[in-house]
């Protein structure tokens, strides 16, 4: 697409933008069990209007736009209150869970530099179920990830293994509440005791649970201690744009000791321009996401979030019970909230993903790793909870159909073939398989089973190289203006 010579009408532009969504997942129908967090049209319209009202206000300079600062203070105060933070706790508003985690790891590294000069090669101890954002942070900030195993049935962190992994270079421990993949909560209290004993920082990744678990707990769900009142917890990431139902671009990093936050702030006046003081990774930032989050929290309120949690808990329990009963499926772990994952015991789970997509449902496929087999992930939300029964009817039918067809048994790849593919240059591999990838690059009817099955069989390091090459090509691919891929 060449740079436009003249402007176009708003009507034509908005019509084209709407048309370009044609191949997107059908989230407005409540048939997507991942990615989208929808509180219903009234709440979403309120968030949209609040976002638009602060679209051009710039959080870069809180003295010029004190409104953004006031909104951020309000939102962070509400998050700290929800997480039972002690006096003196502080936090910062961020664009998402990844930025929150990046800031937390940077803070841990710089805190160690300031207080533990013997640490020259900082290490982060985390269970193998921790979010990839921690690995991204380690790569960005030159911190070594030290990965520990998890319980092979519960998929929760093993505190003893984490304690044994601590060295003189460790700067922080990590736990999840819950981990995204399986929706299970790590033993936060036990890890907290280890952190206190070792004098270490301890981050609880509550991105997906921070705006959900407190309300599920109020409704009687059996959820272990996880919040900022838990001894040993020093920091937490929490997303408003997940079960807080805010617009995308709304998260936070919280610290039980507000003094820790100083280590994440960047200040620079050693140049010829204006002074830079950035509390987060961003410099210039729209006030829209902050206003949208503020509006969502105030519009929905505790009563609304409890109502949402009640509906989603009921839906999630219904899904878990059904999966335990459907022959050929296995629920992974014992998720107490609204996130869960299940595997297939005697047929190809990726075939089930395609079959459900063909029926209009999106269940998120996840590759196998460590003790976790290839599986499908489900996030039950307020808008898709009413569709759980219909989704389960199709899940039962498709599972029975696929199990009865020998063509959908899991294909066994020869080790030498996998080794050969893993050793190939990713560019050469994609060139040789370009037709296969192009045929399955998108659209509601795209069959992904052959690609997913192959990728699942590869070591994750080879998988990552191939995916890097694929995504690099995907974003370089020219697009037409019709909205089709």
CATH 1.10.3720.10 fits 50-296, yes or no: no
Using CA atoms, how far residue 65 sits from 23, 289, 475, in Å, is 39, 15, 35
Residues 6+ apart with CB under 8 A from 116: 171
Residue 304 tokens read as 């609304």
Banded pLDDT at 481 (limits 50, 70, 90): very low
Of 288, 228, 339, the C-alpha closest to 95 is: 288
Separation CA 300–CA 289 (nearest Å): 16
Note the Cα 304 to chain centre separation in Å: 23
DSSP 353-394: HHHHHHTT-B-EEE--BTTBPSEEEEE--TTTGGGHHHHHHH
Q: Chain-wide mean pLDDT for the chain?
A: 93
Separation CA 306–CA 104 (nearest Å): 29
Banded pLDDT at 437 (limits 50, 70, 90): low
Angle at 156 between CA 387 and CA 149, to 5 degrees: 130
Angle at 134 between CA 132 and CA 137, to 5 degrees: 115
Q: Which of 22-36, 73-87, 228-242 has the lowest mean pLDDT?
A: 22-36
Cα dihedral 367→369→372→376 (10° resolution): -10
Q: For 140-161, give one letter per residue: b (16+ CB within 10 A) or e.
A: ebebebbbbebbeebbbbbbeb
User: Which range, 202-216, 404-418, 434-448, has the best average confidence (pLDDT)?
Assistant: 202-216
* Contact indicator for 265, 277 with CB cutoff of 8 Å: yes
CA atoms within 13 A on the CB side of 376: 27
pLDDT at residue number 436: 60
Q: Is the pLDDT of residue 480 over 50?
A: no
pLDDT at residue number 442: 53
* Contact indicator for 89, 228 with CB cutoff of 8 Å: yes
Residues 6+ apart with CB under 8 A from 257: 88, 89, 234
On the 0-12 / 13-18 / 19+ scale of CB atoms within 10 A, 253 is: buried
* Contact indicator for 401, 364 with CB cutoff of 8 Å: no
Is 0.85 surpassed by the pTM of this model? Answer: yes
Q: What are phi and psi of 92, to 5 degrees?
A: -140, 145
| E strand residue ranges, 16-160 | 90-94, 123-127, 144-148
For the stretch 183-209, pLDDT in tens is: 999 999 999 999 999 999 999 999 999
For the stretch 369-415, pLDDT in tens is: 999 999 999 999 999 999 999 999 999 999 999 999 988 998 777 78
Domain boundary assignment for the chain: 50-296, 415-476
Q: Is the peptide bond before 372 cis (omega within 30 degrees of 0)?
A: no
DSSP 204-215: EE-TTTTTTHHH
pLDDT at residue number 98: 98
For the stretch 450-459, pLDDT in tens is: 889 888 999 9
For the stretch 81-125, pLDDT in tens is: 999 999 999 999 999 999 999 999 999 999 999 999 999 999 999
């Amino acid at each position: 697409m060449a740079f436009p010579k003249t402007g176009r009408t708003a009507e034509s532009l908005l019509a084209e933008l709407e048309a370009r969504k044609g191949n997107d997942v059908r989230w407005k129908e409540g048939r997507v069990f991942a990615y989208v967090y929808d509180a219903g049209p009234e709440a979403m319209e309120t968030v949209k209007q609040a976002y638009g009202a602060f679209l051009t206000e710039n959080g870069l300079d809180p003295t010029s736009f004190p409104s953004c600062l006031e909104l951020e203070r309000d939102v962070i105060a509400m998050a700290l209150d929800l997480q039972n933070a002690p006096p003196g706790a502080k936090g910062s508003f961020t664009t998402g869970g990844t930025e929150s985690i990046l800031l937390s790891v940077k803070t841990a590294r710089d805190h160690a530099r300031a207080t533990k000069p013997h640490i020259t090669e900082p290490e982060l101890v985390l269970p193998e179920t921790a979010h990839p954002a921690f690995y991204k942070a380690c790569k960005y900030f030159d911190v070594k990830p030290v990965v520990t195993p998890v319980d092979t049935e519960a998929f929760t962190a093993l505190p003893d293994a984490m304690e044994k992994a601590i060295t003189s270079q460790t700067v922080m421990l990590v736990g999840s509440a819950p981990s995204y993949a399986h929706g299970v909560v790590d033993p936060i209290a036990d890890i907290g005791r280890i952190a206190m004993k070792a004098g270490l920082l301890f981050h609880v990744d509550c991105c997906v649970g921070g705006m959900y678990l407190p309300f599920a707990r109020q409704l009687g769900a059996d959820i272990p201690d996880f919040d900022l009142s838990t001894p040993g917890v020093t920091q937490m990431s929490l997303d408003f744009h997940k079960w807080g139902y805010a617009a995308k671009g709304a998260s936070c990093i919280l610290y039980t000791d507000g003094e820790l936050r100083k280590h994440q702030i960047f200040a620079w006046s050693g140049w010829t321009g204006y002074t830079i003081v950035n509390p987060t990774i961003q410099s210039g930032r729209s006030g829209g996401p902050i206003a949208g989050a503020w509006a969502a929290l105030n519009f929905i309120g505790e009563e609304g979030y409890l109502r949402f949690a009640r509906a989603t808990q009921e839906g999630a329990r219904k899904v878990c019970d059904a999966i335990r009963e459907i022959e050929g499926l296995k629920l992974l772990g014992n998720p107490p909230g609204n996130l869960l994952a299940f595997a297939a015991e005697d047929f190809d789970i990726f075939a089930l993903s395609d079959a459900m997509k063909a029926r209009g449902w999106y269940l998120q496929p996840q590759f196998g790793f460590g003790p976790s087999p290839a599986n499908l992930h489900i996030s039950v939300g307020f808008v898709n909870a009413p569709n759980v029964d219909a989704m389960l009817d199709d899940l039962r039918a498709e599972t029975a159909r696929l199990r009865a067809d020998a063509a959908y048994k899991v294909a066994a790849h020869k080790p030498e073939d996998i080794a050969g593919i893993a050793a190939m240059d990713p560019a050469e591999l994609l060139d040789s398989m370009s037709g296969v990838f192009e045929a399955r690059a998108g659209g509601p009817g795209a069959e992904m089973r052959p690609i997913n099955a192959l990728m699942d069989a590869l070591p994750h390091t080879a998988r990552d190289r191939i995916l890097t090459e694929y995504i690099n090509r995907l974003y370089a691919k020219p697009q037409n203006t019709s909205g089709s891929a």
